[in-house]
Every structure is written in C-alpha cells, then in structure tokens.
Structure 1
C-alpha cells in the first residue's frame, strides 16, 4: 500500500500544493495512523509534511463525507482546521475517497479538563456564528429528525446480538421522545455545526485548538452540537460531566442568552447523541466493511464503551 501511495502522489500536479511548489521528487511516509473511519498517512513531500487520508469505512449513508470535509476546509483556509490541497473521489487508484491536507504538528488532549472544555466551547461558539450563505452549495442541512434516521439505521446484514436488541429498544424510546417534543424545534435558527467533537478530533497547536475531522459537519441545531460534546465525554471516558463543568462550558456561548428552549433541547439531544455513539460503536464492531486489522486494534475500546453506554442509557 505504501508504495502505491508514493506512486500516486508522484503522479499529482505539483501546483496542487501551491503555486511555487517544485516538481515532486521526494515522497516519504513517516507514520501510519489507523482511525475508526480512515487510515491516515503522514507523508513528506519535498521535505514538507502533509496528511493523506483514505476513507476506508463508509459507515453512514452519506455520498461523500470527504467531499463535504474538503469543501469546508477549503472555505476555512486554515482557520480552526488544516489547509486542504487535494480531493479524489474517483476511486480509480484506490477503492476509497482520498484527501490530502496540511499536517498539523499538535498535541491531542487526553482528558476533558477545564482548559480543554473552555477552549472547545470558545471555538464552537465562533463556528456557530459563521455566516453559512457562502457555504450553501456544499454544506448539507440536517434536521434533528434526519440525524436520527441517519445514525440509527443499521444495515440489514448487521449481526444480531443481545446488545442490538437493547439498542433497538433505546432507539424506539428515543424516537418517541424526539417526535413527542418536535415543538421544541419550531422556529429554531439553524447554524454551522461541527458535529464531531471528541478528543481524537482535537489538536492543540500553540495553545490553539485545531479540529481535524469535519466530515459530519452540517447546518443544524447548535444544541445538538453542544450535547454531542457532553455525550462523547461520558461514553468514551465513562464519567458524565458534572453540572459545574457543564455550566462553565455553556458560559462561553454568550450569544445564546435569548435561546429559551436550549436547556430542554440539550437534555433531549444528550440522550440522542449518546445513542448515536452506541449505534456507531456497534457498526464498528459488527459491520463487515471495517478492515480486520483496525477492528482488532480498537475492539476492546469499542466493546468497553458500548457496554458502559448501554448501561448508562438503560438506567436514565
């Protein structure tokens, strides 16, 4: 695979990496990172570091997750995320979508401490205030009801287990709660939401946060974006954020003072997004599309988080 990637990069036009980029003569792969949805290659082209991502696991019914990410990062141009240089969705060289972007030499946080949460909230608050008019050609819009259908739909050939039976019961409960409270979403102003906050998607560089995975970003309800932070902190670290920490987080969103239903939507969305995480974990464990080497590497973590999450939601 590495040799194939090197050949692929050498076949690209140098102008992709900037007007002054010289012909590509040297390509080295310094590191390979296997993530849940992708394999990331740290590559060095003519002495400069880049990141090449192969989207190896199509877990959701979204035509081009990397296509969405590419257009968002192109628009952002290095603000809050890496600069992006190349997208290939032809699947001619590899049976996967490919994206090449800036390599960010940052440090991933290990826990949701005060410093991390405050910085996440500040970045999210700015993201939520971005004018989406110039992004409407590529930024998808998803209502809470569309997200529910997207994340809770399992493929027909998924393995049937006791855990899946419990998850399906939780899905039925969540659907009832969502549609029973649909009045909460009347006249809600949708905004640009990141929809992917987890410590694995964060890097600190020069004391500033960079977000490295924008594939699920969309125009949606800001409360759902915030609730996903609470859900991810709980499910992946098995410790719900206490009320004091939540209040500290919410204090950073100064523009939300007039949002009268925010608290009620947050409560509902925290249950929903926790359930979505469980659905994703189950797909990762039992979907036939995930490469065996990646499943083997992450299986214990998936199983542990799934067990905890099922127990937590069942007793809520």
Structure 2
C-alpha cells in the first residue's frame, strides 16, 4: 500500500540536515503511520521537540494546483483561534517525496462524541468563526458568494460521474435527477443570503473524526483543513448537524433538543453580529444543499471505489457510501 511504500522515504526525509535544521531538531526522529483520509495520509512524527503530524496529500478534491500549500496557508490563517493545528513546515516541491507535505501540531485526544461533546464543538466553531481578517489575508481562499449555486454546480459535476458510469443503478440515477431538479428551484433562496452576507473561514468537512477532543483540558480542536473556503458560517453549522455527517463515523442522529442546545451555545459564544438573529433560518436553508452535496459526493465516490486501481480504499467508508445512495435514504433526505 502507498502508506507503507512511503515510510522508508519519509524516514530518510525527516532525518535530512535541512529538515532537522528548519524544525530545530536534534538526534534522530521516527515516523509511523497514523491515519488516512480519502485523499491524504497522516503520519506521527516523533522528535526531540515532541510529537507532530506529517501530512501528505495524494490528490485535491478542490482541483487545486497546489493543494498542500492551500491547506498550509489556511492553517496559518487560523492559528490564533487556539482550536486548530499550528503549521510548522511546508514542502510542496515533490522532489525528495513524490507528494506535497506539511508538518503540523499533533493534538492528543479522541474523535468527537455527539453524546458528550456537542457544546465543546459549538465553542470550537464560534472561536473559528469569530476570527476577523483583512481582505488581503483571505484573498487566497476559494470564495462562496453564491453558496447554493456553488453547491449545486459541484453536485451536478459529481453526479455527472455517476450518471456516465456504466455500473451505476438506473433507478438511483432517476432519483438523483429529480433531486437536481428540486435544487434548481431552491437556488433562488440564496437571494436571502445575498441581502445580508455573513462571511468567515469555514471548514466544509465537519464530521466527528475531523475533531479531536481532549477532555482533560476541556478543549475540542478541528484538525482537518483540506477544503476551507470563505463562506457562510451556517454552511458549516448545518453540515455538522445533518444525518449524513453525524452517521458518517458515529452512526448517530441528533434530536431536535440536541440541535437547539448546540446552536444556542454557538450563538452565546459568538461576538455580536447583525445576522445572528437569522442563523436558524440560514441553517435550515443550507440543510437541503448540504445533503445534496454529501449524497452527490457519495455517488461519485462509489464510481471510484468500484474502479480497479484506486490507491486509497477504506472499506468502512465504502459501506457508508453505499448506504447514502440507497433510494430510501436519498428520498428521505432530498425529496420529502
């Protein structure tokens, strides 16, 4: 597997003089596999200065020319939040290692548990969404001025891969086509957002395992920043709450009382903003489009997972992908 083939290359890399000098390391360092995502590999780097995460991108979901640099720059932007990993090192040359890599904080803890950590997560979102930046600081970020249009276009592009796949189920294709037609009609709702735009750095991938909770210090970090954009905070909050997110790793669905408690804590933790009173409305509007994007991504990913030669295969993820494109699930989420 790729993660194993890279280990000897990375072991040599982290003990090079230039790397050790930049990271202020003494003696020899060790590296071991930690975790993987769909398009990244994460290794635990043990050094004289403590532990770090060495992260490698194998592809870009955002179709960026330099995915790892984008992620590094986003982490630099967010480092004063206190709830995101601090980045320390970037190598996007792809010379000594055939993929771009960065080094960031290793944050000990456990993935978020919706039964225990909802209010901590709400505070984490508030700390990130409270950060203020000059326009020049966020110029590099992908912008989402018309978020429903952007999500619809992304979903349509993802679904094209499913629609054109000879292995795809015809019945599921028909249901997804109906969902796209409904989305075309609902896009007009984004005019409400344009009347009073609310823009912050959002993560766009807020499933439970992208959070690390350290209960000893009563803090929750949002650690995976592969796809940040400059967009509506309600997009992240809505995505955090919907079933495609909560079921992804935890097989849990939030009840109305839990949703309300989470949103109330988030609002209490935010500084004053004129759009706070409209957050509930914005969240509800985003739910349909976040479901659409999640299900469309699963349809696209299904074509990749069933294609021979894929580099990264996570069978737990594949099982969830199949569940999310079941006709009953699509209808319940998008066509009710």
TM-score, normalising length: structure 1:
0.85
Aligned runs of 1:200-279 on 2, under 5 Å?
200-205=209-214, 206-231=217-242, 232-236=244-248, 237=250, 239-252=252-265, 253-254=267-268, 255=272, 258-279=275-296
Residues 154-193 of structure 1, C-alpha deviations (whole Å, 9 max, x = no match): 2865525123443343233123202355234323131222
How far apart in 1 are the matches of 2:85 and 2:195?
A: 35
Task: Go from structure 1 to structure 2 and tell me whether the alpha carbon gap of 1:116 and 1:257 turns closer, same or farther (over 3 Å shift).
Answer: farther
Quote the residue 1:177 is aligned against: 186
Contact kept, 8 Å, 2:129 with 2:233, in 1: the verdict is yes
Match of 1:80 in 2: 83
- Root-mean-square deviation (CA, aligned residues, Å) is 2.8
Q: After superposing the two structures, state which structure 1 stretch, 2-11 or 154-163, moved more.
A: 154-163
Whole-Å Cα distance in 2 between the matches of residues 83 and 290 of structure 1?
Answer: 34
Residue 272 of structure 1, CA deviation: 0.7
> 1:113-141 CA distances to partner (integer Å, 9 max, x unpaired)?
2x411111112122212102162243332
Asked if the contact 1:235–1:274 (Cα under 8 Å) also holds between the matched residues in 2, the reply is: no
Q: Structure 2 residue aligned with 1:39, among 38, 41, 59?
A: 41
Contact preservation (8 Å) 1:65, 1:216 = no
Tell me how many residue pairs correspond in the alignment: 310
Give per-residue Cα distances to partners, 1:43-96, cap 9 Å, x unaligned.
223473221111124333334443232112223337211221122223334443
2:330 is the counterpart of 1:310? yes
* Partners of 2:14 and 2:111 in 1: CA distance: 27
Go from structure 1 to structure 2 and tell me whether the alpha carbon gap of 1:184 and 1:31 turns closer, same or farther (over 3 Å shift): closer
Where 2:45 maps in the other structure, the secondary structure is strand
Q: Is the counterpart of residue 280 in structure 1 residue 297 in structure 2?
A: yes
Q: 1:284–1:290: 8 Å Cα contact kept in structure 2?
A: no
CA contact (8 A) 1:33 1:39 kept: yes
The aligned counterpart of 2:3 is: none
**Map 1:191-202 → 2, pairs under 5 A:** 191-202=200-211
- Cα offset, 1:40, TM superposition: 1.1
Contact map agreement 2:179 2:335 (CA 8 A) in 1: no
Asked whether the equivalents of residues 282 and 306 of structure 1 are also in contact (C-alpha less than 8 Å), the reply is: yes
Contact 2:196–2:275, Cα closer than 8 Å, also in 1: no
Does the CA contact (< 8 Å) of 1:54 and 1:97 recur in 2? yes
What is the CA–CA distance in structure 2 between the aligned matches of 1:22 and 1:260, rounded to whole Å?
50
2:129 matched to 1:128?
yes
Q: Which moved more, 1:158-167 or 1:269-278?
A: 158-167
2:154 pairs with one of 146, 150, 153: 150
What is the alpha-carbon distance in structure 2 between the residues aligned to residue 95 and residue 289 of structure 1?
Answer: 22
- The 8 Å contact of residues 161 and 300 in structure 2, kept in 1 or not, is answered as no
Task: Give the alignment's TM-score, normalised by structure 2.
Answer: 0.80
* Structure 2: distance between partners of 1:290 and 1:60: 22
Give the counterpart of 1:101 among 96, 100, 104.
104
Unaligned runs of 5+ in 2: 1-5
CA distance in 1, matches of 2:126, 2:322: 33
Distance 1:155 1:61 in 2: 16
Change in CA separation of 1:175 and 1:67 when aligned onto 2, cut-off 3 Å: farther
